[in-house]
Amino acid sequence: MLPVSGTIARGFIPYVYPNTVEAYEQAGLYLKNPIAFSEAVEKDGEVLYGKFCVHCHGTTGAGDGKVGAKLPGPPPAYNGALKNLPEGKIFHTITYGKGSMGPHQSLLTQEERWKLVYYVQKLQGPKTVASDSTKAAAPADSTKKH
């Protein structure tokens, strides 16, 4: 059930980034996970992933879930094209959806979405660039040349 218009449900924190391309980029730069990491939190994320995401994204996040593999544009692999996607963009996309992925803001609390971010990051594996995936990664040795 949605809260009465103009009111806010108890415990609900409004998400300030609107559903726009600009806000998606901003979220990628500035939005950080407010929940402290722990293995228990990541485990909660894994359980949520099994309920809400695995049928499209697949067990390892390769985009080969039963439903995902049949989509005209299957989800990109977390550990591939999405490897360096920053946490803020992961949260933003879980919230609003993207392409054929639907929004999850009415299905999952913010806390649940942030727990999922930790689990998606586990599936991404170690990042190969520090921050924003939309900026081309400089070769690792580019600063070492004189």
Q: List contacts with ligand HEC (CB under 6 A).
A: 52-53, 56-57, 67-68, 71, 73, 75-76, 82, 85, 89-90, 93-94, 98-101, 104, 116, 120
Q: For the beta carbon of residue 71, count every other beta carbon within 10 angstroms.
A: 14
| Nearest distance in Å: CB 90, ligand HEC | 4
Q: How many residues does the chain have?
A: 146
Cβ proximity to ligand HEC, 132 vs 138, nearer residue: 132
Q: Name the CA dihedral angle for 129, 37, 2, 56, rounded to a multiple of 10 degrees.
A: 50
| Nearest distance in Å: CB 141, ligand HEC | 28
Q: Rounded distance, CA 74 to CA 64, Å? A: 7
| Nearest distance in Å: CB 98, ligand HEC | 4
> Is 52:112 a contact under the CB 8 Å cutoff?
no
> Is 101:132 a contact under the CB 8 Å cutoff?
no
| Nearest distance in Å: CB 33, ligand HEC | 13
Angle at 133 between CA 130 and CA 137, to 5 degrees: 65
Cβ proximity to ligand HEC, 35 vs 71, nearer residue: 71
Cβ proximity to ligand HEC, 41 vs 116, nearer residue: 116
Cβ proximity to ligand HEC, 72 vs 139, nearer residue: 72
| Nearest distance in Å: CB 111, ligand HEC | 13
Cβ proximity to ligand HEC, 23 vs 67, nearer residue: 67
For 126, counting Cβ atoms within 10 Å of its Cβ (0-12 exposed, 13-18 middle, 19+ buried), the class is exposed
